[in-house]
Structure 1
Amino acid sequence: MASAAHDVKILLKGLVSSSSQGLQEIDLQERFHLIKELGSGGHGSVLLVEDKETNQKMALKIMEKKRTSKRQFLIEFSLSSYLSSHPNIIRSFDMAFKTQDHFVFGLEAAPVGDLSSIIVRNVGLPEDNVKRCAMQISSALEFIAEKGLVHMDIKCKNILVFDQECHCVKITDFGLTGMKGTVIRSKSGSTSYRAPEMCELTGQEELAVDSTLDVWSFGVLLYCLITGKFPWKVATDKDKRFSRFVAWQNNHCDDPPASWNKLPTCLQRMFGCLLAVDYSQRSKPTEVLCYMEESWKTDSTYSTD
């Protein structure tokens, strides 16, 4: 894995260098028809546009220069390009440029949106849809890990959907992605998806980035898809639902917490692997493949308790 990370580091350095030299300034309104905004975040937005030259529809990720350095932009663009060969990672077009105030690169557009837009609150998604998502996302995460990389922000909003039955879903947004082994000192990713070792990080502590962080987030995401709600707000002792989960996992209590007891026993075992509090005991994302023949939902799964 160290060799893979080293090779990727060298490759990305070359991609960043070559992309930097060809970064032209383009007028967005002259080149594209704006269709609608697909989403926005702390560093910019994503727009659905049509290229006036080719009539091709695409998504443009637009990042404000005042909040994003040129190097940060080029790294994210290079990572997107490098990883987009996987069928369940969003395809990046060979199109990166700048405007007066923004950095921009092109991506394929997802016609349905992201997973958060189709989850039914307190119900989730149909079982077959969840299993399709699980298989595809686990494959993409395994691919990312094999490259010595960690996504660092796996969540429903970062899984794009190409059909209502989830036959095709793809991971997107590599703005927080880092090399395995990189040391960080501040929290990263969305609060409810963070692993406990990330949640406990303080300014005086360090955490080595590892693919087990993505596995934890993947586990939380699957719980959301199955139940239509989060298992907890934050993975710390201050959260009662998380504390009860930890006590159960550590065999301090025989019966699962109420919300987990509604899941089939096989899924309780699966989540015990994906959401192992001790990161060294966490499984690979492909652990989900061992449970595809089992039932993932029961009538009680849909309870709103």
Structure 2
Amino acid sequence: MPGKQSDEEQVELGAAENKPDEDLGGLTAEELRQGQEAALALEDMMALSAQTLVRAEVDELYQQVRPLGQGRFGQVLLVTHRQKGTPLALKQLPKPSTSLRGFLYEFCVGLTLGTHPAVVTTYGIGIESTDSYSFLTEPVLHGDLISLIQPKVGTQMPSGP
């Protein structure tokens, strides 16, 4: 009957769906689907974030307090909001070495992951200045995790009462 599969064809299809597919790199079809949905959602978030970038010079909005860190991709500064005095961390990525897409990707991944209680919160403010792209996060004033971990020892747990 057209459009109807035989019992044998249904068993073969079921077996093919249950065994790992070499072409999916060890992912299940469901994991692949979820990854594709996440990638599309991230693309949508990047497109919206590009439309809402604040175009301003960072020094007009925030006063630099001190550097918090620096890497090959940019720097993180402790800043305070000029009007409210709120301390914030500002991640600044130089335009000559950062594409708008690269900035939007990092910013939006930070927004997505920042909702987890164990991850630094990224605030929804992206800034485009003349020479850099920046975004704001909660400040981590006690150093980074790597500075707290002792080689071959780990971290020291605070002693209880």
TM over 0.5: yes
8 Å CA contact 2:92–2:135 kept in 1: the answer is: yes
Count of aligned positions: 128
Cα separation, partners in 2 of 1:3 and 1:54, compared to 1, 3 Å: farther
Cα separation, partners in 2 of 1:102 and 1:3, compared to 1, 3 Å: same
Provide Cα deviations, 1:138-180, integer angstroms capped at 9, x if missing partner. Answer: xxxxxxxxxxxxxxxxxxxxxxxxxxx5xxxxxxxxxxxxxxx
Q: Does 1:19 align with 2:41?
A: no
Q: Does 1:105 align with 2:135?
A: yes
Deviation at 1:42, TM superposition (A): 0.9
Which residue identity lines up with residue 56 of structure 1 in the other structure?
A: T
Q: Distance in 1 between matches of 2:112 and 2:151?
A: 35
**Which structure: greater strand fraction?**
2
Structure 2 residue matching 1:62: 3-state secondary structure: strand
Q: How does 1:1-305 map to 2 (within 5 A)?
A: 1-120=31-150, 123-126=153-156, 129=157, 165=158
Which residue identity lines up with residue 112 of structure 2 in the other structure?
A: Y
Structure 2 residue matching 1:11: 3-state secondary structure: helix
Structure 2 residue matching 1:66: 3-state secondary structure: helix
Deviation at 1:122, TM superposition (A): 5.4
Say which one has the larger Rg: 2
Provide the alpha-carbon RMSD of the alignment.
1.5
Q: Distance in 2 between matches of 1:83 and 1:118?
A: 22
Q: Distance in 1 between matches of 2:116 and 2:104?
A: 20
Q: Gapped runs of 5+ residues in structure 1?
A: 130-164, 166-305
When the two structures are superposed, what TM-score results if normalisation uses the length of structure 2? 0.74
Q: Which has the higher contact order (CA 8 A, sep 6+)?
A: 2
Structure 2 residue matching 1:29: 3-state secondary structure: helix
When the two structures are superposed, what TM-score results if normalisation uses the length of structure 1? 0.40
Q: Distance in 1 between matches of 2:63 and 2:152?
A: 38
Q: Gapped runs of 5+ residues in structure 2?
A: 1-30
Deviation at 1:112, TM superposition (A): 0.8
Q: Distance in 2 between matches of 1:30 and 1:43?
A: 23
Q: Which ranges of 4 or more aligned residues in structure 1 deviate by more than 4 Å?
A: none
